[in-house]
Structure 1
Amino acid sequence: MENLERKRVAILATNGFEESELLKPKAALEKAGAQVEIVSDRTGNIKSWKDGQWGTEVSVDKTIDQVSQSEYNALMLPGGVMNPDTLRKNRNAVSFVKSFFENHKPVGAICHAPWMLAEADVLNNRKVTSYGSIKTDLVNAGANWVDEEVVVDEGLVTSRTPNDLNAFCSKLVEEVYEGKHEEQVA
């Protein structure tokens, strides 16, 4: 297993994130030795969405206006419908996402989270997957969308649903371990 000691990973989320899509990748990254921080558009706690109702709350470490990509080695974006739909309306959140691509750093996005990638305009000619209902949005943003469990394209890791989390977490840890990818660009 890859050792992610001295690696810092930001998880960008807000109310309505899919519970398993934040908690499982966070646990996998921490198990590998990474320091993981929850970054949000609000202070305090954010609530997950699980099985059609509010679920576990997670403590926010920093707000989006307190951070820079320079503090982190990688970024992880959990899905849920409400979470990325809210965050893609926040200019600072979109700029934060784009800055990881501009600096060639690994990014993971699962389920509906690739909406943030479309909003950040970083999908042109990139091979990705996502929850099926946002395929057209990603194709319209320039992506080469495929229906696969996990897709890795030069440091960008994407998956479709919580059913893909084992493969997603494994590839995310691998890409964070590998570090910067020169072809990971905005």
Structure 2
Amino acid sequence: MRLEGKTVGILVGPGYEDLEFWVPLMRVQEERANVRVIGSRAGERYTSKSGGLTVESEVAAGQVSAGQLDGLLVPGGWAPDKLRRDRHVLQLVQDMHAQKKILGFICHAGWVAASAGICRGKRVTGSTGIRDDMENAGAVWVDESAFREDNLVWGRVVADIPNFCREVVRALSKPEIA
């Protein structure tokens, strides 16, 4: 399995998008990655945007360091709007980026990247609802399903999850930046 021995964090917050959380989580687990569910607080239960699913955070963003992770995934939904206000989340994202660790953003997750200040001059995609925010953060908006830009992996929307997951697994298995 391609990700055996790797540790991947996945952020969660209130109103997370079910499929954008669960499918990438299961996909990296399928490749034998160890997954850590990270929230603003440890041991908190978060309900999905649809209200149907809950997940409990294992660890708080302030309790995990970039050195403990090989990659970090940020699902969309309404959670990124809350997560972008958490200085520990932003610090973790900034540290991961500084260490050239793989970061995956899908749909509204780009809000976190914008608030962390890591997308200036980078090609990005996501829900069209965040396009203005991303461009105002200095990013170059593209309408593509999923792609890798240096250490950043981008996915557009729920329908693009298969392509996003493929790019995430590929990036985590070959994290070197060309």
Q: TM-score range by the shorter chain?
A: over 0.9
Amino acid at match of 1:86: K
Residue of structure 2 in register with 1:110 after alignment: 106
Residue of structure 1 in register with 2:160 after alignment: 164
Superposed CA RMSD: 1.2
Q: Does 1:5 align with 2:1?
A: no
Residue of structure 1 in register with 2:75 after alignment: 78
Structure 1 CA distance for aligned equivalents of residues 99 and 171 of structure 2: 15
8 Å contact kept, 1:127–1:151: no
Mark the runs of 5 or more structure 2 residues left unpaired by the alignment.
none
What is the CA distance between 1:180 and its match in structure 2? 4.2
8 Å contact kept, 1:112–1:134: yes
Amino acid at match of 1:49: K
Structure 2 CA distance for aligned equivalents of residues 95 and 120 of structure 1: 7
Dislocated runs of 4+, deviation >6 Å: none
Matches within 5 A, 1:10-89: 10-42=9-41, 43-50=43-50, 54-81=51-78, 83-89=79-85
What is the CA distance between 1:113 and its match in structure 2? 0.3
> SS of 1:79's equivalent?
coil
Which TM-score applies when normalising by structure 1? 0.92
8 Å contact kept, 2:90–2:115: yes
Residue of structure 2 in register with 1:93 after alignment: 89
The count of aligned residue pairs is 177
Query: Identity over the aligned pairs, expressed in percent?
Result: 32
Residue of structure 2 in register with 1:122 after alignment: 118
8 Å contact kept, 2:73–2:104: yes
What is the CA distance between 1:124 and its match in structure 2? 1.1
What is the CA distance between 1:154 and its match in structure 2? 1.1
What is the CA distance between 1:47 and its match in structure 2? 1.2
Residue of structure 2 in register with 1:179 after alignment: 175
Structure 2 CA distance for aligned equivalents of residues 41 and 169 of structure 1: 24
Superposed CA deviations along residues 8-67 of structure 1, whole A, max 9, x for unmatched, are 0000111110000000000000001100110001223211112xxx12111211111211
Amino acid at match of 2:130: I
8 Å contact kept, 1:128–1:158: yes
Higher relative contact order (CA 8 A, sep 6+): 1
8 Å contact kept, 1:4–1:177: yes
Structure 1 CA distance for aligned equivalents of residues 133 and 44 of structure 2: 32
8 Å contact kept, 2:97–2:151: no
8 Å contact kept, 1:48–1:57: yes
